[in-house]
Amino acid sequence: MTAKLLILDDDHDILFMLKSIFAGEEYELLLESDSESALRRVIADRPNVAIMDISLPQKSGLEVLKEAKKIDPGLAVIMATGYKTTQNAIEAMKYGAFDYVTKPFDMNKLKATVKKAIDCNLLSRKVRYTKERPQAEEDLTEDLMIGSSPEMIEIWKMVGTVADSDATVLIQGESGTGKELLARAIYNNSRRKNRPFLAVNCAAIPEALLESELFGHEKGAFTDAHSRRIGKFEQCNGGTIFLDEIGEMSMANQGKLLRVLENQEFERVGGNETIKVDVRVVAATNRSLLTCVKEKSFRMDLFYRLRVVNFFLPPLRDRAEDIPLLVDLFVKKFSRKYGKNIKGIAPEAMAMLTTCNFDGNIRELKNVINSATVFCRGDILIPGDFESFLKAKTPAIKEVDLEAAGDDYYEVFWSMLEPVFDGICQKNKGAIYESVNMGLEKALIHMAMEKSNNNQVFAAKLLGISRNTLRDRLERYRIGAAEA
């Protein structure tokens, strides 16, 4: 049997090109350039697979997709677009598209996709589609997450596919890659979007408090429990809970969480009553949970239970092509925030950004644009606006591996001293031994005081010196003297 392939595109050149690619015995081709005729084809010819353009003159390709899936839920539709937007990819998958491809087409990939779609259609292994009508468009600007790199497109597709299920989701990725934003994107595209979304950072709350934060407590459950308190799981019944830094959760809390995931039930701290809840869990971590499992700090059963759907957000350095898009978004955001009228970024500045190594990922890029917007005096960001960022980016200190640095931090100080050594020698001719050692000691004492909130007992402990010695040095270097 030859499979029927319907192609809908208003661009005749594309139709012609696809015709020449797919013509042959393998496929019976149905070529259409307007939506209504394509839909009539779906009714009359029952194609196995369709390739549909998203931007069509009368009716959007997404509308056609929806109608076509209503007529034939089994039809495998490949949506094609020249405009890579997040929402299109999410929606295409949400409305049951088989795949989402971007133009210009990679012909080998497209052929393989069509082949897969046909196999899938013939085996009746149909992609699930949503029957509900989409909610009214909501203003998602605050939560707007963008990216058009192939890696991110895969992610949008997956969001569209899984958002509506109640499946537990695990998001892994380095710090600043957008884990929380992705959790919100899943929530915003799910049918729970009108119910609560609560985020809990498991690393920010001490272990003992986390249990009552999540599950609540009864009056008298512990010394400070003066009254009953409802936990986050109860507060967001029917909604979605985002458990950030899940890798930091204690074993005891992990056990309790596992029970919620398995049976949707728990007891408040100090309580006997079993509480039933219906909560979707989205968890995130910037540590490798598998490593935590191997190190026995994370329960294996919970790990598998969490990663029913597993997202990995790639670091920005692996998707540099997203940088221009993100820069554009952030320029608009901060320009508006600071009441400026910045139209964009100079190509030289953009070129500089695309070659930067953003270890702090998107959060760092966002901060860079924030600062450049503040410095910008014209209507376009120029390389000079990034000066303060660049200075901080090329610090006197090279990246130092503290593990390998040994106990005396010789490597650390060597790399700090090297770039300024000549300058110091010139300035303090013949007297640098004393001044550099003093400078180091002063910085060390001052930093320890700051880190200890100016508490001398803590600072002395941190430094491993007596309080008397600390007092002596504080006086010698007049640390805190100005404030006194």
Ligand X SMILES: Nc1ncnc2c1ncn2[C@@H]1O[C@H](COP(=O)(O)OP(=O)(O)OP(=O)(O)O)[C@@H](O)[C@H]1O
286 binds, among ligand X, Mg ion, none (CB under 5 to 8 A by kind): ligand X
At 144 the three-state DSSP class reads coil
Q: Per this entry, what is the length of the chain? A: 484
- Cβ closer to ligand X: 113 or 286? 286
- Cβ closer to ligand X: 61 or 178? 178
**Residue 175 lies near ligand X (rule: CB under 6 A):** yes
- φ, ψ at 198 (rounded to 5°): -120, 135
> What pairs with residue 179 in β-bridges?
none
Which tokens is 290 given? 């598998």
173's CB contacts (< 8 A; 6+ apart) are 179, 284, 286, 311, 312, 313, 314, 315
- Measured CA to CA in angstroms, residue 33 lies from 20, 202, 219, 376 at distances of 16, 53, 68, 47
170's CB contacts (< 8 A; 6+ apart) are 246, 282, 283, 284, 285, 289, 306, 307, 308, 309, 310, 311
- Cβ closer to ligand X: 86 or 121? 86
**Residue 180 lies near Mg ion (rule: CB under 5 A):** yes
Question: Per CB under 6 A, which region of 50-58, 91-99, 122-130, 145-153 contacts ligand X?
Answer: 145-153
Of 112, 45, 113, nearest in space to 77 by CA: 113
Question: Per CB under 5 A, which region of 37-45, 174-182, 218-226, 427-435 contacts Mg ion?
Answer: 174-182
Amino acid at 42: V
362 binds, among ligand X, Mg ion, none (CB under 5 to 8 A by kind): ligand X
**Residue 145 lies near ligand X (rule: CB under 6 A):** yes
**Residue 288 lies near ligand X (rule: CB under 6 A):** no
Alpha-carbon 15 to chain mean position: 37
199 binds, among ligand X, Mg ion, none (CB under 5 to 8 A by kind): none
Question: In the bound complex, what is the minimum distance in angstroms from residue 390's beta carbon to ligand X?
Answer: 20
Total residues in contact with ligand X, by rule CB under 6 A: 17
Residues 307-326 as x/- pattern, contact with ligand X by CB under 6 A: -------------------x
CA 383 to CA 187: how far, in whole Å? 38
Question: Per CB under 5 A, which region of 58-66, 143-151, 180-188, 372-380 contacts Mg ion?
Answer: 180-188
473 binds, among Mg ion, ligand X, none (CB under 5 to 8 A by kind): none
Q: Which residues of 63-97 are buried (b: 16+ CB within 10 A; e: fewer)?
A: ebbbbbbeebebbbbbbbbeebebbbbbbbbbbbb
Q: Are 242 and 284 in contact (CB under 8 A)?
A: yes
Question: Per CB under 6 A, which region of 66-74, 171-179, 248-256, 387-395 contacts ligand X?
Answer: 171-179
Question: In the bound complex, what is the minimum distance in angstroms from residue 271's beta carbon to ligand X?
Answer: 32
**Residue 176 lies near ligand X (rule: CB under 6 A):** yes
- Cβ closer to ligand X: 35 or 361? 361
> Would you tell me which residues interact with Mg ion (CB under 5 A)?
180
> Would you tell me which residues interact with ligand X (CB under 6 A)?
145-147, 173, 175-181, 286, 326, 329, 362-363, 366
